Amino acid sequence: MQRALHLAASPGVPLGPNPRVGCVLLAPDGSIVGEGYHHGAGSPHAEVEALRAAGDLARGTTAVVTLEPCNHTGRTGPCSQALIEAGVTKVVVAQRDPNPIAEGGLEMLAAAGIEVEHGLLLDDARALNPAWTFAHEHGRPFVTWKFATTLDGRSAATDGSSHWVSSPAARRDTHVLRALCDTMLVGTNTVVVDDPQLTVRDADGEPRPHQPLRVVMGERDLPPESRVFDDQAETVQLRTHDPVEALETLYRDHGRHHVFFEGGPKLAAAFLKAGVVDEVLVYVAPLLLGGGKSAVGSLGIRTITKALQFDLVDTLVLLPDSDDADDSAINLRLTLRPTPAKES
């Protein structure tokens, strides 16, 4: 199973829209006779690759797979049926498939007389596809909220200027993290005021070939010349103020699993109050403003005991690049997760 997990995480395998999966076929004597991994949407699944590699040696083998073999026909046929036809006698799975469309592979295999087991190295398998797993288990994408702030929690000065709140190194880091998501989301006010392009760019400023879906949330009509409507990526406007509705639509109608949210303070407060912020990325600049635009709007919290609590899971100091000759700004990136509710 460790070998299958290693194969699934092979360099160059995209993080979506399909899960990363690895498969190893073992002969009765324990030797490997075939292995494979899924290279991305539209390509053969890991089990099919392993069966092709094994050929006639697949008969009588044990298939060790990081994810339950699928039980539906999409761009490719069901892997559970392929394993049955190949004469595999046992299947060991790490993670059951949380996708309601594809689940049921183990039951199909068992009905065909194949011995099945699941749960081996489950946590490692879930860690391979965390956003994909989360989305299918919750019926909505995983949400990462990113913002930049001064030491006193300001995202912009009183006059609206915000250029130095995040450093060039922080902005480069943001693009690296954007690339890990399949959706960029902001509100209509951010589009009108800031006119962002919402694309993922390399260090040299060039757009990457594969771009997340750009999503603008809100009922306000937007200027057609807004950069978010250029030809660099697909854009969808969701005419709703309800974060839960928006996220369910992105999962159900657009197949999205991971939202990178960069909305303003009002929309950020709406997401927080709805309880749909799963991760927070905060870029903290060593600045004090004493006033200006808050990073988050009112949450209706009137006492410290009701404050939203987060666990700090990572810190990173972002130093100026050697090419930033005129910039000495240092940002600290904090990664936080909501503190789990305590059981009563």
178 a known binding residue?
yes
Q: Are strands 279-284 and 142-149 parallel, antiparallel or unpaired?
A: parallel
201 is in an annotated binding site: yes
The contacts of residue 34 (CB under 8 Å, 6+ apart) are: 24, 25, 50, 51, 52, 53, 54, 55, 57, 58, 61
Query: CA neighbours within 13 Å on the CB side: how many for 168?
Result: 13
Is 265 annotated in a binding site? The answer is yes
267 assigned binding-site residue: yes
Amino acid at residue number 312 = L
* Phi-psi group of 119: left, alpha or beta (phi > 0 → left; psi -120 to 50 → alpha; rest → beta): left
C-alpha–C-alpha distance, residues 214 and 60, integer Å: 48
* 47 annotated active-site: yes
Q: Any known ligand binding at 308? A: no
59 is in an annotated binding site: no
- Active-site hit among 47, 49, 68, 279: 47
> Is 185 labeled as ligand-binding?
no
Among residues 277, 263, 272, the alpha carbon closest in space to that of 298 is found at 272
337 is an annotated ligand-binding site residue:
no
198 is in an annotated binding site: yes
CA 219 to each of CA 187, 193, 216, 240: distance values in angstroms, whole numbers, following the listed order: 9, 16, 9, 6
Q: Is 167 annotated as ligand-binding?
A: no
Query: Does 86 count as an annotated binding residue?
Result: no
263 marked as binding residue = no
DSSP string covering 316-333, please? EEEPPPTT-TT----EEE
Q: For residue 216, which phi and psi values (nearest 5 degrees)?
A: -115, 125
164 among annotated binding-site residues: yes
Task: State yes or no: 321 annotated in a binding site.
Answer: no
What's the CA angle centered on 83, arms 95 and 24, to 5 degrees?
Answer: 60
262 is in an annotated binding site: yes
**Alpha helices (H) along 179-237:** 188-194
DSSP 167-195: -HHHHHHHHHHHTT-SEEEEEHHHHHHH-
Q: Which residues are annotated as a binding site?
A: 45, 70, 79, 148, 162, 164, 178, 190, 194, 198, 201, 262, 264-270
Q: Which residues are annotated as a binding site for Zn(2+)?
A: 45, 70, 79
Q: Which residues are annotated as a binding site for substrate?
A: 162, 178, 198, 201, 262
Q: Which residues are annotated as a binding site for NADP(+)?
A: 148, 164, 190, 194, 264-270
Which residues belong to the active site? 47
